[in-house]
């Protein structure tokens, strides 16, 4: 079970980026997205994508993030440019436990850095949390997220030129 926890979502400002965090989490192999701020619009959007394109991805906003972090029984990873390089840390992260991946929107409280098992950086330069999540999940799951069949009613057919989407009849 892989859960992504989005901290500090500012409803007006971060809607698009948080939606992209959810889309990447779903497409790259996470099971759920938890968002610290309540935003039913993002919940609807991600549930709609899951309903159309398949999978069992869950989303919930307005969660009490401190309780989630405090009570998490698996491994806790915080993606931050201030952490240790992914190449040094990845071999130490167990792949047989539930995983909580924390990504921030605004300044992440210092307590998060101390509460996790690993502070992971993809590079020690400013970068997007969306890119960090995609790269981390791809490396952690060794590319498995990208080849998963979601069994959705809509399928994108790979095409050299143009767009092709088919709807599967039940």
Confidence of residue 51 (pLDDT cuts 50, 70, 90): very high
Per-residue confidence at 12, pLDDT binned at 50, 70, 90? low
Which pLDDT band, with edges at 50, 70 and 90, does 162 fall under? confident
Cα-to-chain-centroid distance, residue 9 = 14
Residue 49, burial from CB neighbour count under 10 angstroms (0-12, 13-18, 19+): buried
Query: Using an 8 Å Cβ cutoff, are 33 and 97 in contact?
Result: no
- Those residues with Cβ within 8 angstroms of residue 15's Cβ, 6 or more apart along the chain or in another chain: 39, 41, 42
Quote the tokens at residue 160: 């050299």
Q: Which of 64, 138, 71 is nearest to 100 (CA)?
A: 71
CATH assignment at residue 95: 3.40.1280.10
Least confident of 31-35, 60-64, 75-79, 108-112: 108-112
- For residue 40, pLDDT over 90 is answered with yes
CB count in 10 Å sphere of residue 56: 10
pLDDT on residue 10: 66
Look up the domain containing 127 and give its range.
Answer: 2-167
The per-residue DSSP string of 136-155 comes to HHHHHTTTGGGT---B-SEE
Q: Which of 2-6, 8-12, 78-82, 132-136 has the lowest mean pLDDT?
A: 8-12
- Count how many domains the chain has: 1
Give percent of the chain above pLDDT 90: 66
């Amino acid at each position: 079970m892989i859960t992504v926890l989005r901290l500090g979502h500012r409803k007006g400002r971060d809607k698009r980026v948080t939606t992209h965090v959810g889309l990447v989490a779903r497409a790259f192999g996470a099971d759920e997205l938890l968002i610290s701020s309540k935003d039913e619009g993002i919940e609807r959007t991600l549930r709609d994508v899951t309903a159309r394109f398949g999978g069992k991805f869950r989303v919930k906003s307005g969660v009490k993030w401190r309780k989630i972090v405090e009570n998490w029984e698996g491994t806790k990873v915080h993606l931050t440019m201030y952490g240790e390089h992914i190449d040094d840390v990845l071999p130490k992260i167990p792949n047989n436990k539930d995983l909580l991946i924390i990504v921030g929107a605004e300044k992440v409280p210092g307590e998060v850095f101390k509460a996790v098992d690993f502070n992971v950086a993809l590079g020690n330069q400013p970068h997007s949390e969306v890119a960090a999540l995609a790269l981390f999940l791809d490396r952690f799951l060794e590319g498995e997220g990208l080849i998963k069949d979601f069994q959705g009613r809509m399928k994108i057919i790979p095409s050299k030129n143009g767009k092709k989407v088919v709807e599967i009849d039940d």
